[in-house]
């Protein structure tokens, strides 16, 4: 299976990159994703995976820039990226003051190795310089803040860090737990499952909650643990699947929405009063009981799921089956979506839910 997966990744990369990019391969993908994100063409996870969303964004960008929309990121496409384009990662030594595509990849790799920058701005400024030096010290490399061959190799492989993981003086001493960000996760969902707030989690990890969250980022979580009854996860999933079937909504979509909202946890409460697995606010419960279901619903985990699924089914009907608009309305409210559209934050939420389908 591992060989098949590796082959599939190689084929996917070959379809996206040409010429010099193929010599380095997969590592260039986050540079493309960040450039497309900054130009407003890509709203998925910055995960270094060349999937359909990335390829579609490449072609749309190329078409709008008057380039051949072949999905191949060559020199002309990188030039069109402007300050987010330019040199491929590995084609030059990186140091403070540089800007471009390869700096984007550097910042992604730093985050992947546990040193996330506050902003993925493709600019090798003072903040990135400090992170490079911290990473070099961890790897027992000269901490000069310059990304040459040895530092680049350590970023790509992480081998030195793995060899020293059991040394007491090399362990990061923080109270609490660690979490590595997975595809489709958001700071909101992680905070909810950790029993904390987005603001507290962002402060703890030196993150800007307005920026996108990089896949592979290592987060420090509070030491408080939520007790979840044995079998709770399976019970919630069964409830989600049952009500999805009852209301005729795709079960993959329902589970993805529930995971994005709460991580399948009924104890989660938001600052705006959203409650439970489906993060239902009181006004939504009142509307759904009165005008969608037509009867009171128990305030249990299963009842919360029923309210959320029934309301989602209502929104799908209201927006004529448009998943993006219905999910946006679930998050932002139907009136706001009709009047203002989705907006950047809501589009990010919708993209996360759609990316989670079939994964949870």
* CATH assignment of the domain containing 205: 3.10.350.10
User: Which distant-in-sequence residues (6+ apart) come within 8 Å of 244 by Cβ?
Assistant: 250, 251, 253, 254, 255, 309
**H helix and E strand count, the chain:** 18, 2
Q: Are residues 239 and 352 in the same domain?
A: yes
Q: Are residues 302 and 316 in the same domain?
A: yes
Contact 274, 281 (CB under 8 A): yes
Widest CA span of the chain, in angstroms?
Answer: 69
pLDDT tens-digit readout, 47-85: 888 788 888 888 999 999 999 888 888 888 888 999 998
DSSP string, 154-196: HHHH-HHHHHTTT-GGGS---SSEEEE--TT--HHHHHHHHTS
Q: Indicate whether 318 belongs to any domain.
A: yes
Contact 144, 129 (CB under 8 A): no
Domain span holding position 242: 232-356
Q: Are residues 31 and 92 in the same domain?
A: no
Between CA 277 and CA 350 the distance in angstroms is 17
Q: Which tokens belong to 252?
A: 């993959």
Q: How high is the pLDDT of residue 231?
A: 42
Q: 3-state class of 221 per DSSP?
A: strand
Task: Identify the domain boundary among 221, 248, 282.
Answer: 221
Q: Which tokens belong to 231?
A: 């079998």
pLDDT tens-digit readout, 277-323: 999 999 999 999 999 999 899 989 999 999 999 999 999 999 999 99
Between CA 226 and CA 91 the distance in angstroms is 47
Q: Are residues 67 and 125 in the same domain?
A: no
Count of CA atoms in the C-beta half-sphere (13 A) of 284: 27
Q: Are residues 254 and 345 in the same domain?
A: yes
Q: Indicate whether 30 belongs to any domain.
A: yes
Q: How high is the pLDDT of residue 290?
A: 92
The CA angle 226-217-51, to the nearest 5 degrees, is 110
Q: Are residues 55 and 158 in the same domain?
A: no
Report the mean per-residue pLDDT for the chain: 80
Q: Indicate whether 227 belongs to any domain.
A: no
Task: Identify the domain boundary among 65, 85, 105.
Answer: 85
Contact 327, 238 (CB under 8 A): no
Give me the CATH number covering residue 153. Answer: 1.10.101.10
Q: Are residues 242 and 348 in the same domain?
A: yes
DSSP code, position 344: H
- 200 versus 290: which is more confidently predicted? 290
Q: Are residues 299 and 236 in the same domain?
A: yes
pLDDT tens-digit readout, 160-197: 543 333 333 333 333 457 788 877 677 776 776 666 66
The CA angle 133-47-329, to the nearest 5 degrees, is 125
Q: Are residues 95 and 4 in the same domain?
A: no
Q: Indicate whether 48 belongs to any domain.
A: yes
Q: Are residues 167 and 97 in the same domain?
A: yes
The CA angle 323-324-330, to the nearest 5 degrees, is 85
The values of phi and psi at residue 44, to 5°, are -85, -170
Q: Indicate whether 280 belongs to any domain.
A: yes
Q: Are residues 270 and 181 in the same domain?
A: no
Would you say residue 113 has pLDDT above 90?
A: no
Q: What is the dihedral of CA 252, 255, 256, 259, to 10 degrees?
A: -160
Name the percent of the chain lying above pLDDT 70.
Answer: 81
Long-range contacts of 159-163 (CB under 8 A, 24+ apart): 161/113
DSSP string, 227-257: ---TTHHHHHHHHHHHHHHHHT--HHHHHHH
**Total structural domains within the chain:** 4
Q: Are residues 216 and 284 in the same domain?
A: no
- pTM (2 d.p.): 0.44
Q: Indicate whether 341 belongs to any domain.
A: yes
Q: Indicate whether 207 belongs to any domain.
A: yes
Task: Identify the domain boundary among 40, 61, 85.
Answer: 85
Q: Indicate whether 226 belongs to any domain.
A: no
């Amino acid at each position: 299976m591992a060989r098949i997966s590796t082959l599939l990744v190689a084929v996917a990369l070959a379809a996206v990159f040409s010429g010099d990019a193929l010599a380095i391969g997969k590592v260039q993908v986050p540079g493309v994703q960040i450039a497309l994100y900054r130009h407003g063409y890509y709203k998925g996870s910055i995960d270094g995976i060349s999937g359909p969303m990335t390829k579609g964004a490449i072609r749309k960008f190329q078409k709008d820039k008057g380039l051949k929309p072949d999905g191949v990121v060559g020199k002309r496409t990188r030039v069109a990226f402007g300050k987010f384009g330019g040199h491929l990662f590995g084609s030059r030594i990186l140091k403070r003051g540089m800007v471009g595509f390869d700096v984007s990849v550097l910042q992604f790799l730093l985050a992947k190795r546990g040193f996330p920058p506050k902003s993925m701005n493709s600019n090798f400024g003072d903040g990135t310089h400090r992170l490079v030096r911290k990473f070099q010290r961890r790897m027992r490399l000269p901490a000069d803040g310059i990304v040459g061959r040895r530092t680049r190799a350590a970023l790509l492989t992480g081998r030195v860090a793995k060899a020293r993981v059991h040394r007491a003086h090399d362990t990061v001493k923080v109270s609490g737990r660690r979490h590595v960000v997975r595809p489709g996760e958001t700071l909101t969902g992680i905070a909810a499952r950790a029993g904390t707030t987005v603001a507290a989690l962002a402060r703890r990890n030196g993150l800007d909650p307005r920026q996108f969250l990089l896949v592979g980022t290592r987060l420090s979580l509070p030491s408080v643990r939520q007790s979840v009854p044995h079998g709770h996860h399976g019970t919630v999933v069964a409830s989600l699947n049952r009500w999805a079937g009852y209301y005729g909504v795709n079960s993959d979509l329902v589970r993805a929405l529930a995971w994005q909202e709460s991580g399948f946890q009924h104890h989660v409460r938001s600052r705006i009063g959203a409650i439970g697995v489906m993060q239902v606010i009181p006004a939504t419960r009142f509307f759904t009981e009165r005008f969608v279901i037509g009867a009171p619903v128990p305030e249990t985990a299963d009842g919360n799921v029923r309210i959320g699924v029934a309301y989602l089914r209502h929104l799908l009907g209201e927006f004529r089956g448009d998943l993006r608009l219905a999910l946006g309305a679930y998050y932002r409210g139907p009136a706001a979506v009709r009047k203002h559209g989705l907006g950047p934050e809501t589009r990010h939420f919708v993209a996360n839910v759609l990316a989670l389908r079939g994964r949870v």
